[in-house]
């Protein structure tokens, strides 16, 4: 166990008692003992009450990441059982038809701080982003191999976040052989995943259920998918019988992925490489009309301070999208920034409709797919907002 104790300042014990896993540097009152970075420490409140055990790293703003909120001992068995628990939780979602790819471990929300693991068909991609978990890499990997038996387990430890933890950046095949191309199935659609060069761990699994949700609106429809990446929304729209589908992304790699994926599924998608802000403005100028518009931009704000400019960004694209939609048209708009509260996001989009003197109906307020679970007491785990509106006459 551990001899060192981190005492948190008075007032910060509440969030820990609610299950929050982080102690920030400026929340520490004092440290007893001389913990080395990566060591386990006990966390106590100002009265000396036990808050749990975590990993210490004074190089990180998140100086302690709690692994337990009670007196349980932290050891390899605990980590392995957390991995098994994460896999067990995914069982219900794995009964979904036509899907062979899921997030298996979602960091803090699975009580494995900084550990991200995705299954893409035959391949498992593991990312270890915290110093505390680095030393458990083997236990995590071996448990995954035993429980999941993938063809390949790939360590994608090249996220720059690791630098903040004082960790080196590298990637390597941990076990098995990496297939030349990885084809996954999502909602029965074939998709190519580029694990080595793609964004995130290779695909946006958090949008699977929302990709499917677009289908009923698409039959015979003109569909525009903005910020499309691999074409998740566009491909579902095409499969659902859209009259035309246009997918737009600023990344050339994404645009060629969309084209490849469309060919794989024998559907027609027009893939355009452009800045969506410009593209939308241009289509408004041309007085184009669509029946369905999807907006799924990257996080406009990674910090609370940028909220106002983020809101302006969301509003601008919502305004353009609404101008492209006649009465009856559907807008699906997303924010993947944790810092943007759901209500603020909704009000921002609603204000676009107000500016245009249009009324909208809320079809659905959705979020990230269930393999990206939300942990109570850890609001950071809820990040993806998905707002579906219908334009009224
Ligand atoms: N909709 C996708 C995920 C999109 S992620 C899905 O469901 O899987 C955000 C995408 O926006 C990335 O592919 C990124 O390349 C693209 N992007 C970022 N800024 C952009 C811009 N200004 N114009 C167009 N695309 C942009």
> In whole angstroms, what is the distance from residue 89 CA to residue 291 CA?
37
The tens digit of pLDDT for each residue in 211-240 reads 999 999 999 999 999 999 999 999 999 999
The tens digit of pLDDT for each residue in 81-90 reads 999 999 999 9
User: How big is the CA angle at 91 (ends 89 and 97), to the nearest 5 degrees?
Assistant: 140
Name the nearest CA neighbour of 170 among 126, 209, 112, 204.
126
Of all protein residues, the one whose alpha carbon is nearest to atom 11 of ligand 1 is: 227
Instruction: Using the predicted structure, report yes or no on whether residue 1 has a pLDDT greater than 60.
Output: no
> In whole angstroms, what is the distance from residue 120 CA to residue 123 CA?
5
Tell me the CA–centroid distance for residue 250 and ligand 1, in Å: 7
Arithmetic mean of pLDDT, 274-295? 98
Query: What's the token pair of residue 153?
Result: 């387990």
pLDDT > 90: percent of the chain: 92
Using DSSP's 3-state secondary structure scheme, residue 62 falls into: strand
Mutational pocket test of ligand 1: of 229, 294, 320, 335, the residue with most ligand atoms within 8 Å of the beta carbon = 229
Residue keyed to tokens 């074409």: 231
Write the DSSP string, 25-73.
Answer: GGGEEEEES-PPTT-EEEEE-TT--EEEEEEE-TTSSEEEEEEESSSPP
Of all protein residues, the one whose alpha carbon is nearest to atom 1 of ligand 1 is: 228
pLDDT for 302: 72
Mean pLDDT across the chain:
95
CA-334 nearest atom, ligand 1: 1
Tell me the CA–centroid distance for residue 165 and ligand 1, in Å: 27
> In whole angstroms, what is the distance from residue 201 CA to residue 193 CA?
9
Has 336 been annotated as catalytic? yes
Tell me the CA–centroid distance for residue 299 and ligand 1, in Å: 10
Tell me the CA–centroid distance for residue 236 and ligand 1, in Å: 17
> In whole angstroms, what is the distance from residue 25 CA to residue 59 CA?
9
Instruction: Using the predicted structure, report yes or no on whether residue 134 has a pLDDT greater than 90.
Output: yes
Arithmetic mean of pLDDT, 348-373? 98
Arithmetic mean of pLDDT, 266-284? 98
Mutational pocket test of ligand 1: of 186, 192, 228, 369, the residue with most ligand atoms within 8 Å of the beta carbon = 228
pLDDT for 304: 75
Mutational pocket test of ligand 1: of 235, 249, 274, 366, the residue with most ligand atoms within 8 Å of the beta carbon = 249
- pLDDT band at 171, cuts 50/70/90? very high
Higher pLDDT residue, 177 or 305? 177
Which domains does the chain possess? Answer: 5-68 (2.30.130.10), 76-182 (3.30.750.80), 206-391 (3.40.50.150)
Long-range contacts of 49-53, Cβ-Cβ distance < 8 Å, separation of 24 or more: 49/13, 51/8, 51/13, 51/16, 51/17, 52/16, 53/1, 53/2
Tell me the CA–centroid distance for residue 26 and ligand 1, in Å: 35
> In whole angstroms, what is the distance from residue 137 CA to residue 274 CA?
40
> In whole angstroms, what is the distance from residue 80 CA to residue 72 CA?
14
> In whole angstroms, what is the distance from residue 101 CA to residue 87 CA?
13
pTM of the predicted protein model: 0.95
């Amino acid at each position: 166990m551990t001899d060192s104790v981190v005492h948190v300042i008075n007032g910060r014990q509440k969030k820990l008692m609610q299950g929050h896993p982080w102690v920030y540097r400026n929340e520490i009152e004092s440290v007893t003992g001389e913990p080395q970075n990566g060591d386990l420490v006990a966390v106590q409140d100002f009265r000396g009450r036990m808050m749990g055990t975590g990993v210490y790293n004074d190089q990180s703003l998140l100086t302690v990441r709690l692994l337990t909120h009670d007196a349980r001992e932290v050891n390899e068995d605990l980590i392995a059982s957390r991995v098994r628990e994460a896999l067990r939780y995914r069982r219900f979602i794995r009964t979904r038809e036509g899907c062979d790819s899921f997030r298996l471990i979602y960091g803090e929300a699975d009580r494995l701080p900084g550990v991200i693991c995705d299954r893409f068909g035959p391949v498992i991609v593991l990312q270890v982003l915290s110093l505390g978990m680095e030393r458990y890499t083997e236990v995590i990997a071996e448990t995954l191999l035993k429980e999941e038996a993938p063809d390949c387990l790939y360590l994608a430890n090249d996220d720059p976040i690791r630098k903040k933890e004082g960790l080196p950046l590298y990637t390597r095949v941990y076990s098995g052989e990496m297939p030349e191309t990885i084809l996954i199935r999502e909602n029965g659609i074939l998709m190519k995943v580029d694990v080595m060069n793609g964004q995130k761990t290779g695909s946006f699994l958090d949008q699977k259920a929302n990709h499917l949700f677009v289908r009923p609106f698409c039959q015979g429809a003109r569909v525009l998918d903005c910020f499309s990446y691999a074409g998740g929304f566009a491909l579902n729209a095409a499969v659902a019988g859209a009259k035309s589908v246009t997918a737009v992304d600023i990344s050339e790699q994404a645009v060629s992925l969309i084209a490849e994926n469309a060919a794989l599924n024998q559907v027609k998608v027009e893939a355009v490489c452009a800045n969506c802000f410009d593209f939308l403005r241009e289509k408004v100028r041309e007085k184009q009309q669509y029946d369905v518009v999807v907006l799924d931009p990257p996080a406009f704000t990674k910090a609370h301070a940028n909220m106002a400019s983020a809101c302006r960004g969301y509003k601008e694209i919502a305004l353009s999208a609404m101008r492209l939609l006649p009465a009856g048209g559907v807008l699906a708009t997303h924010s993947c920034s944790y810092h943007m509260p759901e209500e603020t996001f909704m009000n921002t989009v609603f204000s676009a409709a107000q500016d245009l003197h249009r009324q909208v109906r809320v079809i659905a307020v959705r979020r990230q797919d269930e393999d990206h679970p939300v942990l109570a007491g850890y609001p950071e785990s809820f990040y993806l907002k998905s707002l579906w509106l219908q334009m009224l006459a």
